[in-house]
Amino acid sequence: MSLTTTTGRVSDDGVADGPGSPPSGPPAREAVREMDNPHRARTTKDLLARIVMWSAFAVAMVPLVWILWTVASRGAHLLADPVWWTGNQRNINSDDAGGGARHAIEGTLIQAGMTALISIPIGVLTAVYLVEYGRGRLAKAISFMVDILSGVPSIVAALFIYAVWVTTFGIDRSGFAVSLSLVLLMIPTIVRSTEEMLKLVPNELREASYALGVPKWVTVVRIVLRTAFSGIVTGILLGLARVMGETAPLLILGPYTKNFQRDLFDGNMATLPTMINQDRGDFALATAAERMWGAALTLIILVLLLNLLGRVVAHFGSVKK
């Protein structure tokens, strides 16, 4: 039998449960068990989410590791030969062993450098205009054109430059024409990535600079761009990584040559993608297949080194907290 008092409830064993006292006895243990259930459910859900996440990561890594292992195992022995980094493929037939890829490496770097030299200022300045100054119809038109360029296939960009450069102006195909087509592919990537990085810069930094009487263009250069520098460099590297592996503009505007060619405005220029395509036609021959895998591995290494360099530049160039 239990008694009810003004301060609480008296149980059968004579222990009073006040209004603020936790319940005792078997009902208390059930209440505690019910309180533990939400925590146990959250722990279970967290564990399942971790398992799904790591499983998805492992599945995504399988093709990546497979590709890297295949390319490295079949082309690494060519990269160990110093001739690969110093020679070219002049007077080397498809069934002949030997030769190097320096002509293709130089062509890839020269074209990528020219593409970056044109694309980076245009892309960054366009993003700055859209975020900091762009208002009205002009900004909407520019943003719309950037969206269109983002979805243009590489072969369409190459055909457009061919129609203007070769057909209209009558200029021969060259490495510079290839760079112009790659510019059309690289600018949208830089614009969109830079635009997103600039939007992440807190407005408080801009307002504090304006409050000190600093002009807007100085604020953009010294505050906004420096704060977003790391992300901007990452976007530029993504754009370069995309254009360095393009093949359609190279086949249409800059066919392959086995000789050294360092002049962007004179004649065909060798690149690693066109070297891969050249040897792919004779894939049945062991020597051509080896050169193809070696050129593919070289291209992967160049992109990797470029990304590492960008990480270093972004680390030392970003604003320190």
Q: What is the pLDDT of residues 157-203, one digit of tens each?
A: 999 999 998 898 888 888 899 999 999 999 999 999 999 999 988 88
Q: Is the pLDDT of residue 321 over 80?
A: no
Higher pLDDT, 12 or 86: 86
pLDDT of residue 136: 82
pLDDT of residue 262: 85
Higher pLDDT, 11 or 55: 55
pLDDT of residue 187: 93
CA distance 164 to 252: 13
Higher pLDDT, 24 or 168: 168
Q: Is the pLDDT of residue 313 over 80?
A: no
pLDDT of residue 6: 46
Measured between its terminal Cα atoms, the distance across the chain in Å is 69
CA distance 171 to 161: 11
CA distance 261 to 267: 8
What's the pTM?
0.78
Higher pLDDT, 9 or 301: 301
pLDDT of residue 256: 85
CB contact at 8 A, 142 and 134: yes
Closest CA to 173 of 249, 260, 259, 268: 268
The single residue listed with the structure tokens 């859209």 is: 130
Q: Is the pLDDT of residue 204 over 70?
A: yes
CA distance 134 to 129: 5
Pull the structure tokens for residue 166: 């070769």
CA distance 234 to 130: 19
pLDDT of residue 29: 61
Higher pLDDT, 176 or 30: 176
Q: Is the pLDDT of residue 2 over 70?
A: no
**E-strand stretches of the chain:** 3-4, 9-10, 16-17
59-78 mean pLDDT: 91
Q: Is the pLDDT of residue 5 over 50?
A: no
CA dihedral 216, 221, 227, 232 (to 10 degrees): 120
Which residues, listed in sequence order, are joined to residue 16 by a DSSP beta bridge?
Answer: 10
Count Cβ neighbours within 10 Å for each residue of 136-156 and write b for 16 or more, e otherwise.
eeeeeeebeebeebeeeebee
Residue type, 228: A
Closest CA to 295 of 87, 76, 66, 67: 76
**How sure is the predictor about 55, in pLDDT bands with cuts at 50, 70 and 90?**
very high
134-143 mean pLDDT: 88
pLDDT of residue 31: 55
Pull the structure tokens for residue 83: 């001739």
Percent of the chain predicted with pLDDT > 90: 29
pLDDT of residue 318: 61
Count Cβ neighbours within 10 Å for each residue of 48-65 and write b for 16 or more, e otherwise.
eeeeeeeeeeeeeeeeee
